[in-house]
Amino acid sequence: MQTPWPPLPTTAAPMDIEWRLPRHARSVGRARALFREQAASWGLSQEVTDTAELLLSELMTNAYRHAKVPAGREIWARCVVTENRVRVTVTDANDTLPTPGTASLDDESGRGLTLVAALADDWGVESRTCGTGKTVWFELVREPVAYQTVTPAVEPWPTGSVHVGSTAGASSVPPRRGTRPS
């Protein structure tokens, strides 16, 4: 019997991770890298990963650039994956709720929330109920991972005891190029 690979996630509890990053320009790239690594370990599709990474980058950039807060405040990024959704939140300590802007063709910025609204299946912003600040979030619908058993391309090596010179259990697969025959 073959074991499914990768291991099946449990649907009882969501996959959840949070990062607390300094309010600094470098944290935007750091959040993208952390998310991409985590998405790979969770087995998210490339399409969902790419979209979520782009939108996370937009929200992190907004929190870094526009949240005017005292020094030392952090930006919190959180990702929760359920069976059919990816929810990403970015929280900062500024109470001002953002709204999508209208950028002209010549503007180099100002399209972040418009991009979030266009690409996310749902999104929103809310004041934090305990403490100062706000949380901006988006959700992407994802297909449940279709796990299938992996069939090896070649027969596995024999597991029984094989002595040198014996043909019992020998593989019919020729050695790979660059390897020495046994």
Q: What domains, with CATH codes, occur in the chain?
A: 15-141 (3.30.565.10)
Helix or strand (DSSP H, E) at 19: strand 15-22
Query: For position 152, what pLDDT does the model report?
Result: 45
Q: How confident is the model at residue 159 (pLDDT cuts 50, 70, 90)?
A: very low
The proportion of the chain whose per-residue pLDDT surpasses 90, expressed as a percent, equals 43
Most confidently predicted of 56-70, 104-118, 153-167:
56-70
Most confidently predicted of 53-57, 73-77, 162-166:
53-57
C-beta separation of 78 from 106 below 8 A:
no
Q: How confident is the model at residue 177 (pLDDT cuts 50, 70, 90)?
A: very low
C-beta separation of 76 from 19 below 8 A:
yes
Q: Please give the model's pTM, rounded to 2 decimal places.
A: 0.69
Count Cβ neighbours within 10 Å for each residue of 75-86 and write b for 16 or more, e otherwise.
bbbbbbbeeeeb
Query: For position 174, what pLDDT does the model report?
Result: 45
Cα 136 from chain centre:
17
Residue range 31-53: mean pLDDT, rounded: 95
Q: Which of 27, 94, 86, 103 is nearest to 52 (CA)?
A: 86
Query: For position 69, what pLDDT does the model report?
Result: 74
First to last CA, the chain: 29
Q: 95 CB contacts (<8 Å, ≥6 apart)?
A: 127, 132, 133, 134
C-beta separation of 3 from 148 below 8 A:
no
Helix or strand (DSSP H, E) at 62: helix 46-66
**Which range has the worst mean pLDDT, 85-89, 119-123, 143-147, 177-181?**
177-181
